[in-house]
Amino acid sequence: MRAYLDHAATTPLAPEALAAMRPWLEVEHGNPSSQHAAGRAARAAVEDAREQVAAALGVTPLEVLFTGGGTEADNTALKGIAWAARDAGRGAHLVTTAIEHHAVLDSARWLALRQAFDVTEVPVEPDGIVDPGRLLAAVRDDTVVVSVMAANNEIGTVQPLDVIGPALAQRGVVLHTDAVQAFGRVPLDLDGWGVGALSLSAHKFNGPKGVGALMLRRDLPCEGLLHGGGQERGLRSGTLNATGIVGCGAAAQLTAATAAVQVPRLRALRDRLLEGLLAVGDVAVNGSRRLRLPHNAHVAIHDCDADGLLLALDAAGVAVSTGSACQSGAAQPSHVMTAIGAPLEGVAHLRFTCGRTTTTAEVDHAVAACTDAIKRLRDGGSALPW
Ligand code: PLP
């Protein structure tokens, strides 16, 4: 039996998204910028998808730009908003957190290193949550954008944007949030939180890879990264990936329409998984138990070798992520593990993430394989049962 429990890394394409994409793979081929019938059909399909993404987020279609994924959406938001604000003389300071995805963190660091921006990386508490007071204290008069992820991709912690957002809005500071992991898993109140920009990636919600979206408020100045044909409000040149965009729209609609059923189902599966893992003993949860994504179980397994455990799980057909204190083969602890002060010596940190296709049988198989491997490794045995 196989158990794919790495839905934070990527998710399988939903049949509904595939069905929507199929004509755009097999028959339709127009360029959405062309004037003729084939082009107009492609344009209509792209605009339908834009409406689906906008409706799922509760924004207007004009506020949705399609990108080549979450990384591009994050880069555009950070660099584009920062450049436009500096050009307008509003300042050159950015605030972000220590546990952002590298698409945000490295964009901010590049702006600091190469573009003379000033960046403050606010630490998180040991439970993986940023203290709103600490974050807001880092905001200055020359702060042009604050980027705080809605939920973390490793430990699954959900940040208090309901507190941070309105406080930033009151001070007139733009909030960008990377919602790549959060979308469809926790409610996102873009208006209530005063979100100025938000990043999505289709392959994290059962859409295709290589397509994403940047929600950008219409009145928020932003420079584009890609120059050329002037597509997407002039902010993202390049022939639109109509096939991928159609899949992204269908997946966004499906995700929003089924969240009320899926979220409790995911939570139940995750809790079953966690219960099984904790029962092994000397296993702890990384990150807040309460403020975390419903599908994420990230655990510290003490007195256990991470590489050996991964090997054993892989041999048992269980796909998880090291998520990791010490990545396999590389002695570098992840920046998230470092930021929460996770113990590294002799501890295996594993991330299990459930999804739309996860079954109880998969969860039970993973728990059994994990229990067996941990016991064997702790007894000084080999990672593999043979
Ligand atoms: N942001 C977060 C939180 C992610 O988890 C990921 C993907 O792992 C990304 C951004 C990057 O998205 P993409 O793979 O679409 O470039």
pLDDT, position 326: 37
- Ligand 1 pocket, mutate which of 7, 71, 155, 183 (most atoms under 8 A from CB): 71
Read off the pLDDT of each residue in 253-272 and give the average, rounded to a whole number. Answer: 98
Q: For the chain, what is the mean pLDDT? A: 96
For residue 146, give the DSSP letter: E
pLDDT at 323: 60
For ligand 1, say whether the CB of 181 is within 6 Å of any of its atoms: yes
Q: Is 71 near ligand 1, meaning CB less than 6 Å away?
A: yes
Stretch 202-220: mean pLDDT: 98
Q: What is the pLDDT of residues 228-245, one digit of tens each?
A: 999 999 999 999 999 999
Q: What is the 3-state secondary structure (H, E, C) of 28-53?
A: CCCCCCCCCHHHHHHHHHHHHHHHHH
- pLDDT above 70 for 327: no
Residue 151 alpha carbon to ligand 1 centre in Å = 11
Question: Confidence class of residue 86 from pLDDT cuts 50, 70 and 90?
Answer: very high
Catalytic residue from among 248, 326, 354, 370:
326
Asked which of 27-31, 195-199, 282-286, 380-384 is least confident by mean pLDDT, the reply is 380-384
Looking at per-residue pLDDT, the higher value among 327 and 42 belongs to: 42
Measured in Å, residue 101 CA sits from the centre of ligand 1 at 7
26-46 pLDDT, tens digit each: 999 999 999 999 999 999 999
Q: Which two tokens stand for residue 300?
A: 């510290």
The question of whether 248 is a catalytic residue gets the answer no
The answer to whether the CB of 11 is under 6 A from ligand 1 is: no
Q: Tens digit of pLDDT for each residue in 127-170?
A: 999 999 999 999 999 999 999 999 999 999 999 999 999 999 99
CATH architecture of 3-10+259-378: Alpha-Beta Complex (3.90)
Q: Where along the chain do its domains lie?
A: 3-10+259-378, 15-254
- Please give the distance, rounded to the nearest whole angstrom, from the Cα atom of residue 208 to the centre of ligand 1: 13
Band the pLDDT of 331: cuts 50, 70, 90. low
Instruction: Please name every residue paired with 64 in a beta bridge, in sequence order, or none if there are none.
Output: 215
With bands split at pLDDT 50, 70 and 90, how would you rate the model's confidence at 328? very low
pLDDT of 325 > 70? The answer is no
In the sheet with 143-147, reading across from the earlier edge strand, the strands are: 64-67, 212-216, 197-201, 174-178, 143-147, 93-97, 118-122
Q: Output phi, psi for 22, to 5 deg.
A: -50, -50
What stretches of 226-366 adopt beta strand conformation (E)? 283-285, 296-302, 318-319, 347-353
CATH architecture under which domain 15-254 falls: 3-Layer(aba) Sandwich (3.40)
